[in-house]
């Protein structure tokens, strides 16, 4: 291929990858399989390597990240990014409404948007091309993080129309990405991020863009700072304009004709916020008319035409009485605070995470301290601070032990890690935690084998490894506390059923370091049998998409251990399936299922299926599951309380199935 041909092909590849990326990251309606996208991206990278003078600033290759920056430059915002006034209750919202109507008249409508918990950024485009991305900073001066923002797939590098425009948005980390990141950090013995907001901000403020590129960030555009050549009359119209330009705009934004509608919107999302795949901490309320924005103007700090309704804070005070040490399945020793019982986010909390010794020192935590506790992501309680002014002098310093609290082996801190580890592979705590992980929902999913039952089995020496679960006998189980005949029969049936699980569940359950549920499925899909995976070389593993050097090295090391070979042989002899039973590559190409080529949205509460089970069925039968309804959606499966997604599907004219219709279609396809 000569240079002229290369230039032509590069243009084709960039247009294709730009279009595929837009459908995947913005519309949630993938056009092609991931493997095809990766193939085209690799072709683009190779051509750009061969012809570096043909590389452009808006090439999809910049998503991968460039060289590290020595520091971030300060940049001034042409239009200040002002903060919003706050409303904390219904009366505050009504007072805001009264002030607005007094200034502009009675006929006022509003736009309500979710208040995303991420990092506010400004994106500047000239003639449709991204030229700068900056943090909000103090509202007047921010930091230039253009190279990091270029790695976020939801941010268009080139607009669908060549406008010169400054766009404001919120960069955020989806909950699923946050969980994967913290799981990897935990396995590496590194300090975990406290919440998705900190993770997003920390990722975008890395000097090395390659780190940001790996963090699976996204962005919602929510307003226009300024634009040349476009006259928009309302805020809602500006959101639709941003959507036309190729930005990801949150679909839960709604026009509200009265303050009563606004209050109903805040109540709805206060209750349903945990259903979202990203974090929110409130609702932003804006006057819809941009002409009214001009009339209302600004205070010294904030616009008079908008306010932020903040959900009630879930931080409470209590006393830390003691610190307990827990040994995880990877040997990491984690300190846990034992607290005076306190109500947080609707549940009583007695224990909270302290993460590691360095954090205890950093926060200056002492036994007897009055501490601030909150639920990270409204799920995991953690100690976030200490009230030192409440100290009486009777508080006691805490020191981490030098020995494992379970097996008394010497604790070690590996190079580059903050966590203390027990490196004894026969440590009872690690074995017990490994067993609990093995039977968990995303692994072998053995119903009835909870933490208490596992602990009993381990205590009575009925199991020493995961394979022993398949050798349990009815009579010995009946001897255990609170294990009646029916419970034992159900448990044995669940254990027997788990033998048929597909390979990826077993792989994840084995707890191989760095191998999460997604990587386990990728490995199972690629190698299809445990035997082939055991024989895979480092190079073969590295050739698999999404498998990096650390993971490949960990997998090779794991299967080289003699005790692992013994364990796998024991599992196979017990009848545990060692083969991937999902759709094979060849089968996907040859046989189309009932959902073949269809984009499906699941919404509402399903009674016969978990979301994960339903998604797996759809994918096995040729479909793709996305999280939002658009014109590209082919089918919506609606359970109870389906809400806005069902309404949107009805308005667009998309086919809607009940759960019963879905179940019937799956059963017919499997006959």
CA-closest candidate to residue 328, choices 435, 463, 417, 444: 435
Specify the DSSP class assigned to residue 624: E
- 144 C-beta neighbours (distance < 10 Å), count: 17
Alpha carbon distance 451, 432 (integer Å) = 9
Sequence-distant (6+) residues with CB within 8 A of 574 are: 467, 470, 471, 499
CA-closest candidate to residue 365, choices 352, 378, 375: 352
- 73 C-beta neighbours (distance < 10 Å), count: 12
The answer on whether 37 is annotated among ligand-binding residues is yes
Residue 558: alpha-carbon gap to chain centroid: 27
The answer on whether 256 is annotated among ligand-binding residues is no
The answer on whether 294 is annotated among ligand-binding residues is no
Specify the DSSP class assigned to residue 304: T
Contact (Cβ atoms closer than 8 angstroms) between residue 420 and residue 405: no
First-to-final CA distance of the chain: 51
Contact (Cβ atoms closer than 8 angstroms) between residue 420 and residue 400: yes
C-alpha separations of 654 from 30, 68, 516, 648 in Å: 17, 46, 35, 9
Check 8, 73, 115, 214 and give the catalytic one.
115
Contact (Cβ atoms closer than 8 angstroms) between residue 282 and residue 115: yes
Sequence-distant (6+) residues with CB within 8 A of 555 are: 512, 515, 523, 533, 536, 541, 547
115 is catalytic: yes
The answer on whether 113 is annotated among ligand-binding residues is yes
For tokens 């024991």, name the residue.
570
The answer on whether 170 is annotated among ligand-binding residues is yes
Contact (Cβ atoms closer than 8 angstroms) between residue 421 and residue 330: yes
Dihedral pair phi/psi, residue 546, rounded to 5°: 80, 0
The answer on whether 34 is annotated among ligand-binding residues is yes
The answer on whether 36 is annotated among ligand-binding residues is yes
Dihedral pair phi/psi, residue 640, rounded to 5°: -70, 150
The answer on whether 112 is annotated among ligand-binding residues is no
Which pair of tokens denotes residue 133? 């991305």
Q: DSSP of 366-411, one letter per residue? A: EET-EEEEEEETTTEEEEEEE-GGG--S--EE----SB-TTT-PBE
Q: Which helix (H) or strand (E) holds 282?
A: strand 280-287
Alpha carbon distance 556, 551 (integer Å) = 9
CA-closest candidate to residue 606, choices 596, 617, 597, 595: 617
- Parallel, antiparallel or unpaired: strands 347-353 and 366-367: unpaired
The answer on whether 404 is annotated among ligand-binding residues is yes
CA-closest candidate to residue 546, choices 527, 530, 523, 529: 523
The answer on whether 549 is annotated among ligand-binding residues is no
Long-range contacts from 92-95, C-beta under 8 angstroms, 24+ separation: 92/307, 92/309, 93/259, 93/262, 93/263, 93/266, 93/285, 93/307, 93/309, 94/259
Which pair of tokens denotes residue 458? 């381990």
Alpha carbon distance 464, 468 (integer Å) = 7
Binding-site sequence positions for Zn(2+): 404, 407, 422, 427
Q: Would you name the residues annotated as active-site residues?
A: 115
Binding-site sequence positions for NAD(+): 34-38, 83-84, 113, 136, 170, 286, 310
Binding-site sequence positions: 34-38, 83-84, 113, 136, 170, 286, 310, 404, 407, 422, 427
């Amino acid at each position: 291929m000569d240079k002229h041909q290369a230039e032509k092909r590069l243009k084709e590849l960039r247009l294709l990858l730009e279009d595929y990326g837009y459908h995947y990251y913005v519309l949630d309606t993938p056009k092609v399989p991931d493997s095809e996208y990766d193939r085209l991206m690799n072709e683009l990278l190779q051509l750009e390597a061969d012809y570096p003078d043909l590389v452009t600033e808006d090439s999809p290759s910049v998503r991968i990240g460039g060289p590290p920056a020595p520091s971030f430059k300060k940049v001034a915002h042409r239009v200040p990014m002002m903060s919003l006034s706050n409303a904390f209750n219904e009366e505050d919202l009504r007072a805001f409404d009264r002030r607005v109507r007094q200034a502009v008249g009675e006929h006022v409508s509003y736009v309500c948007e979710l208040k995303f918990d991420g990092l506010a950024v400004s994106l500047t485009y000239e003639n449709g091309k991204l030229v700068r991305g900056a943090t909000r900073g103090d509202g007047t001066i921010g930091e230039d993080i253009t190279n990091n923002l270029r790695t976020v797939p939801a941010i268009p590098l080139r607009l669908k129309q060549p406008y010169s425009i400054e766009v404001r948005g919120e960069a955020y980390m989806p909950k699923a990405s946050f969980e994967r990141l913290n799981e990897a950090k935990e396995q590496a013995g590194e300090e975990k991020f406290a919440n998705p907001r900190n993770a997003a901000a920390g990722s975008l403020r890395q000097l090395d863009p390659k780190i940001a590129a790996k963090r699976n960030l996204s962005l919602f555009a929510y307003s226009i700072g300024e634009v040349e050549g476009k006259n928009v009359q309302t805020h809602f119209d500006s959101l639709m304009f941003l959507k036309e330009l190729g930005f990801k705009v949150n679909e839960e934004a709604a026009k509200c004709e009265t303050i009563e509608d606004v209050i109903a919107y805040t109540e709805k999302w206060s209750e349903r916020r945990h259903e979202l795949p990203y974090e929110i901490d409130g609702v932003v309320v804006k006057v819809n008319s941009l002409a009214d924005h001009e009339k209302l103007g600004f205070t010294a700090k904030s616009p008079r035409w908008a306010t932020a309704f903040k959900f009630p804070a879930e931080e409470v005070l209590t006393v830390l009485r003691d610190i307990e040490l827990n040994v995880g399945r990877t040997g990491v020793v984690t300190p846990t605070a034992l607290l005076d019982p306190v109500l947080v986010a609707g549940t009583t909390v007695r224990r909270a995470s302290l993460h590691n010794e360095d954090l205890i020192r950093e926060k200056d935590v002492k036994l007897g301290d009055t501490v601030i506790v909150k639920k990270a992501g409204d799920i995991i309680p953690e100690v976030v601070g200490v009230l030192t002014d409440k100290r009486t002098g009777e508080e006691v310093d805490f020191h981490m032990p030098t020995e494992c609290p379970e097996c008394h082996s010497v604790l070690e801190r590996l190079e580059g890690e903050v966590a203390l580890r027990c490196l004894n592979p026969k440590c009872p705590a690690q074995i017990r935690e490994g067993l609990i992980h093995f039977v968990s929902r995303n692994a072998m999913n053995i119903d009835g084998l909870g933490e208490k039952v596992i602990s009993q089995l381990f205590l009575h020496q009925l199991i020493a490894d995961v394979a022993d679960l398949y050798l349990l006998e009815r009579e010995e189980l009946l001897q255990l506390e609170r294990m009646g005949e029916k419970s034992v029969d159900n448990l044995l049936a669940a254990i027997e059923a788990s033998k048929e699980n597909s390979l990826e569940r077993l792989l994840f359950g084995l707890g191989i370091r760095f191998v999460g549920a997604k990587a386990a499925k990728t490995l199972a899909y690629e190698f299809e049998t445990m035997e082939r995976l055991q024989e895979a070389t480092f190079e073969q593993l590295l050739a698999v998409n999404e498998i990096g050097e650390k993971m490949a090295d960990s997998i090779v090391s794991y299967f080289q251990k003699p005790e692992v070979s013994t364990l796998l042989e024991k599992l196979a002899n017990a009848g545990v399936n060692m083969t991937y039973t999902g759709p094979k590559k060849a089968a996907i190409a040859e046989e189309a299922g009932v959902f073949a080529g269809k984009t499906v949205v699941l919404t509402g509460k399903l009674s016969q299926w978990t979301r994960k089970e339903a998604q797996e069925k759809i994918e096995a039968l040729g479909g793709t599951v996305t999280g939002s309804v658009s014109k590209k959606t082919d089918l919506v499966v609606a359970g109870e309380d389906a809400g806005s997604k069902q309404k949107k599907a009805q308005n667009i004219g998309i086919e809607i199935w009940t759960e019963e219709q879905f179940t019937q279609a799956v059963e017919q396809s499997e006959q």
